[in-house]
Amino acid sequence: MSKIFGENLREVRKKAGLRQWQLSIKMNVTAQTISSWEVGRTEPTMGQMQELCKILNCDMSELLRNTYRAITPRDRQLLDAFYDAPDSVKSAIRTLLGIEVK
């Protein structure tokens, strides 16, 4: 989410006529924090995102626009194959991808 989210945040912030340091004061964070969000190094918490929406007078959907891509038919096919695979195959795939199951 981060890089596209940051671009969305920058766009909405500029549309609101605020500079990073002005938004940082309203958010009670540093200007470096705003910069870090905008370049995708870090992401705000859900509470901070709600506060951003209030301050910037925008919907959450504006900030999250295009941050998640739609699942394609090929993606669906791969997911179905994974779910239908034996547990040993699922385990091997998770190991290859570095995914821990808790």
What tokens were used for 77? 């096919």
**Among residues 13, 7, 11, which one has the least CA distance to residue 56?**
13
| pLDDT, tens digit (0-9, with 9 covering 90-100), for 68-98 | 666 778 888 888 888 899 999 989 988 888 8
Delimit the domains of the chain by residue range. 2-64, 70-102
**Among residues 72, 83, 82, 4, which one has the least CA distance to residue 38?**
4
Is 1.10.10.10 the CATH classification of the domain at 2-64? no
Residue 64 confidence (pLDDT): 85
Q: Kindly tell me if the per-residue pLDDT of 67 is higher than 70.
A: no
Region label for 65, one of left (φ > 0), alpha (ψ between -120 and 50) or beta (otherwise): beta
CB 87 within 8 A of CB 73: no
**Among residues 71, 70, 37, which one has the least CA distance to residue 51?**
37
Q: Percentage of the chain surpassing pLDDT 70?
A: 92
